Structure 1
């Protein structure tokens, strides 16, 4: 009985290792690129929340809006993200900086805020993320909302919309 139990344990351990190694190869490459991504489908609506998540192959930033189509965006790597209005640089941690702009303000038609981060320097907590280093507020002005996304390095990213969301994924590797 002990020999059978030992054989079963060895077989299960080998199967577990094979499954974990098979999953490790799923993130080996992406074809998202690191060039600017933009969609302009008009402006309007408003930002209602900003959140993030960790995934096996990428870190994700989600900007919630009150628009069924999510809204338009412009996302690009830049040497410096600046605060709207003043042009003062937004301090960001990381080896590369992504400028994230939505064509959706963080205020309503009466200029009442619809979203205000509790801490503009740390819009969401990305402690322990593999790629994200910091998400900082750069302001909301003339129908847009701007964020600075500090990342580990200039890595491929994609941007897409879902109902009521603009999603920015940054890969963990090329």
Structure 2
């Protein structure tokens, strides 16, 4: 009896698009990813997306994963409460926040991501995410990704962290929050 109830729950969750596949960045959600369907429907658009909230909780890590329909970047801001602030949009060139220095990013388009969280603990000054300006994100390897082509760390300046994400082309993207993580998904196609 318990097996049939569990099996029914899996079928219901999969049908509702709530059952995902695990990746290094967390669960990927969506009906296509859950059911294994190869047809992807995204209506996210490619215009800039923003939320003006801020947190004093620091950025701890950045990870990536891929699904059938999109590539995903996840910003771990452990301990953040409430809505997270961000600004994500396409730019012609990636310039370091603060200095204005140009940082080359490979790909057909550049998605500039600002997350309203520093890379250090404001109470102690201790670094929480060890990245260097102009360098690739530590621990992020993009071999085999369909859409993601390059990453560059811009800066952690005045309470926000800047990342340049090189993508194959100017493609639709979305920004989501799940608990204390900020998620940026970039579709493989229109």
CA offsets 1:29-86 (integer angstroms, 9 cap, x no match): 3100000111112332110000000111000000000213462110000111111222
More helix by share: 1
User: 2:31 maps to which residue?
Assistant: none
Calculate the TM-score normalised by the size of structure 1.
0.81
Which residue of 45, 59, 69 corresponds with 1:57? 69
Instruction: Give the direction of change, closer, same or farther, for the CA distance of 1:86–1:142 in structure 2 (3 Å limit).
Output: same
User: 2:54 maps to which residue?
Assistant: 42
Question: Which stretches in structure 1 are left out of the alignment for 5+ residues?
Answer: 1-21
Contact kept, 8 Å, 2:156 with 2:162, in 1: the verdict is yes
Query: What's the offset of the Cα at 1:161?
Result: 0.8
Contact kept, 8 Å, 1:69 with 1:161, in 2: the verdict is no
Contact kept, 8 Å, 2:55 with 2:81, in 1: the verdict is no
Which residue of 136, 142, 145 corresponds with 2:152? 136
1:1-174 matches, within 5 Å, as: 23-25=37-39, 27=40, 29-66=41-78, 67-69=80-82, 71-109=84-122, 110-117=124-131, 121-123=135-137, 124-174=140-190
The CA distance in 2 between the partners of 1:37 and 1:170, in whole Å, is 13
In our comparison, the structure showing a higher alpha carbon Rg is 1
Instruction: Give the direction of change, closer, same or farther, for the CA distance of 1:70–1:134 in structure 2 (3 Å limit).
Output: farther
The CA distance in 2 between the partners of 1:148 and 1:113, in whole Å, is 20
- Count of aligned residue pairs for this structure pair: 151
Instruction: Give the direction of change, closer, same or farther, for the CA distance of 1:69–1:127 in structure 2 (3 Å limit).
Output: farther
Calculate the TM-score normalised by the size of structure 2.
0.75
- RMSD of aligned alpha carbons: 1.7
Q: Which has the higher contact order (CA 8 A, sep 6+)?
A: 1
CA offsets 1:108-166 (integer angstroms, 9 cap, x no match): 11322111137962211111100000111001010000000000000000001111100
